[in-house]
Structure 1
Amino acid sequence: MTPEIDEIFQAVKDRHGADSITRVEEMVYAKRQERHPLQKDAKWIMPGISQKPWHDPYEHPEIEPVVRAFEAGHGAIKQELAAAWSDRNSAFSDYEHYLTRQENWQALYLFRDGGPVESSAALVPTAYTILTREVVEQGKLCPLLESHFSTLLPGASIAPHCDLWNFSINLHLAIDIPEGCGITVAGETRQWQEGECLLFDYSFEHEAWNKGDRPRTCLLVDLWHPETTAPEREALVGLITEIRKLMG
């Protein structure tokens, strides 16, 4: 990599121990890691993380309180989101995935570019408060990524793709789900149930669609994968931040 990345890694090892980020170093410096065929297009696969596409949202002690808080707040979140959509539609924007930008995939961001989107606090206060209290302040959000309301318009689809890496995991709270919607991860298709969460590893190939007659909205939260450690997370933030600087 670069001397700057070497220095970042050494600083983490000085604080946490020489073996604290072995898996991160293996990911960066070793040859391409063995991976599941349906992770083939992911950029980074950190070794030692379970090759498990779908997760029970309640199975991880770190994530379970987040799931319960969002599910408990679903009613208020749905009402606030509906008002934001109808009254202040300009707050939504075309979703910009690292692979594409889609006009029929709209987003209202709560966390982006390493920090909270404070303008969203007044629009969707329940979701913003839960995200801040249960996720951001607890260090569970992967700050390299984001949290947003994801709205697929009728007829929209998201083509099969892998996201960038396996060291974060994607939580979906189903907000408003018409008939005819679904998501497939690693060949297994599931439907969102309003007020409930889905949790999956999006380094596996996945796709989604809305064949219904109204928008489909979920709240998406990019969490650290629960099988990563605090030193690894520190090193990963430094690594990806430095790479993004180099890429401009």
Structure 2
Amino acid sequence: MKDPRSASLMAMKDWAHRSGISPSQLSRIEDALTATEVQGAPYQKPVILCRGLEARPWHDSSQFGWVRGIEQRFAEIKAELLSQYERIETHPEASSLALRGQWNSFYFFHMGQRFDQNHAACPDTVRALSEVPGIETAGMAYFSVMAPGTQVKPHCGFTNTRIRCHLGLVVPPDCAMRVGGETRGWEEGKCSIFDDSFEHEVRNDSDRYRAVLLFDTWHPGLSEIERQALTFLMSAWRAFLA
């Protein structure tokens, strides 16, 4: 697998120069792109690790102001999931991460790429997501559906510059996710927030499918300039992950 760091660093430096941004404002991002050792906290090992960001596997949802609005639209979001269920396709990482079962997805955003047809089909979901900082560029947003008996193996996300949320939509018993050293379940209509740069794995041991609205937001410890730089870098990273 090719390393995205060198090309990303050169592109970012050129972008910063053209934008009149001081290199000192991007020192953490530059360090992340040049680091040879990416081990963070225990269980945390993304490809791109930005130092100095609070590192914890699970986050308190009450600390994110947009959570209330997302949860209040639970009924509308679930209805749109059900209306599009037949259009949900195999998750692009299912072949590499699913140990067994079927893992499907219905994308709204993928690292800066917008899925216009899915936006048009789910206006209430898109309206709810629009309140989340960085929803278009921080990472991904999609319906994640796991069939009965599905297991996603332990893995770490690409970078710690984002925080991930799951809104429980269809949650049968006997399904859970481990992030770091702690395992939790989901609750329908409630947001679970975690840092996917920590090792995590998911299991659905029930006899029904499990569905969540998965989406990313910027890590709150980033500066506005760092968010702008990362937004620029998303297209390069998307090409690397393709």
Judge conservation of contact 2:47–2:158 (CA < 8 Å) in 1: yes
Instruction: Give 1:32's match in structure 2, choosing from 37, 56, 59.
Output: 37
1:43 aligns with 2:39: no
- Other-structure match for 2:57: 53
Q: How many residues align?
A: 233
**Which residue of 199, 214, 234 corresponds with 2:228?**
234
SS in 1 for 2:233: helix
**Which residue does the alignment assign to 1:123?**
121
Can you list the C-alpha shifts for 1:82-102, whole angstroms capped at 9, x where unaligned?
Answer: 2322xxx1x211001398265
Contact 1:158 1:208 (C-alpha < 8 Å) held by counterparts: yes
Deviates more, 1:28-37 or 1:46-55: 28-37
Say which of 175, 181, 187 aligns to 1:181. Answer: 175
CA contact (8 A) 1:148 1:220 kept: yes
8 A Cα contact 2:110 2:141, kept in partner: yes
1:140: how far off? 2.1
Superposition deviation, residue 166 in structure 1: 0.2
Bigger Cα displacement from structure 2, 73-82 vs 151-160: 73-82
Secondary structure of 2:102 counterpart: strand
**Counterpart in the other structure of 1:97:** 93
Following TM superposition, by how much is the alpha carbon of 1:39 offset from its aligned partner in structure 2, in angstroms?
1.5
Q: Give the whole-Å Cα distance in 1 for the aligned partners of 2:76 and 2:163.
A: 25
Letter in 1 for 2:74: H
Deviation at 1:197, TM superposition (A): 0.2
Q: Deviations over 1:180-204 (max 9, x none)?
A: 1101000101110110000100000
Structure 1 position 84 matched with structure 2 position 84: yes
Partners of 1:38 and 1:5 in 2: how far apart?
Answer: 29
* Contact 1:95/1:101 (<8 A) preserved: no
Q: Determine helix, strand or coil for the equivalent of 1:173.
A: strand
Percent identity between matched residues is: 31
Note if 1:225 corresponds to 2:216: no
**Does the 8 A contact of 2:179 with 2:198 survive in 1?**
yes
Displacement after TM superposition at 1:32 (Å): 2.3
Equivalent pair of 1:45/1:166 in contact (CA under 8 Å): yes
Tell me the SS of whatever aligns to 1:175.
Answer: strand
The residue type paired with residue 129 of structure 2 is L
Which stretch shifts more, 197-206 or 68-77?
68-77
1:74 aligns with 2:79: no
Note if contact 2:169-2:213 (Cα within 8 Å) is conserved in structure 1: yes
Per-residue Cα deviation, 1:28-62 (whole angstroms, up to 9, x for no partner): 2344255123123x101100011211100121xxx
Counterpart of 2:11?
4
Give the Cα separation in 2 of the matches to 1:148 and 1:247.
17
Structure 2, unmatched stretches of 5+, are 1-5
Cα deviation for residue 5 of structure 1 reads: 3.6
- Corresponding residue for 1:157? 151
Distance 2:233 2:84 in 1: 36
What is the CA–CA distance in structure 1 between the aligned matches of 2:240 and 2:208, rounded to whole Å?
42
Structure 2 SS opposite 1:226: coil
TM-score normalised by L of structure 1: 0.84
2:200 to 203, 206, 223: 206
The whole-number CA distance in structure 2 between the counterparts of 1:34 and 1:18 is 25
- Match of 2:226, SS state, is helix
- Match of 2:55, SS? coil
Larger CA deviation: 48-57 vs 26-35: 26-35
